[in-house]
């Protein structure tokens, strides 16, 4: 059983966290169950709940964050050249 955060439940429109008078109850359930509201849910039915399936699918198909490009300073240290030289070479490469 996966543990999900509150926003994941809200994004899939889980009925336990619907906006309205029961929202506070849903948050309390989330905190009490350590993010595993689905365990006691009548709709869960062995993982067949559409909201649960959406959350698992979204979690499994998240894209990896793209690595940040190397900064001018990092490149100058790595290549043992001045920052101005790195900038000159980068400008020459983009022209």
Tell me, yes or no, if the pTM score tops 0.75.
Answer: no
State yes or no: pLDDT of 86 exceeds 90: yes
pLDDT band per the 50, 70, 90 thresholds, residue 12: confident
State yes or no: pLDDT of 87 exceeds 90: yes
Print burial letters for 14-33: b (CB count within 10 Å at least 16), e (below 16).
Answer: bebbeeeeeeeebeebbeee
State yes or no: pLDDT of 81 exceeds 70: yes
pLDDT tens column, 24-75: 888 888 788 888 888 878 888 888 888 888 888 887 777 667 778 899 999 9
Spell out the domain ranges in the chain: 6-60
């Amino acid at each position: 059983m996966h543990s999900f955060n509150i926003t994941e439940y809200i994004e899939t429109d889980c009925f336990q966290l619907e906006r309205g008078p029961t929202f506070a109850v849903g948050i309390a359930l989330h905190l009490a169950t350590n993010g595993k509201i689905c365990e006691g849910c009548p709709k869960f039915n062995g993982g067949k709940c559409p909201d649960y399936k959406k959350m698992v699918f979204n979690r499994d198909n998240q894209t990896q964050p793209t690595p940040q490009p190397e900064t001018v300073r990092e490149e100058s240290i790595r290549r043992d050249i001045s920052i101005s030289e790195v900038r000159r070479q980068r400008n020459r490469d983009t022209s």
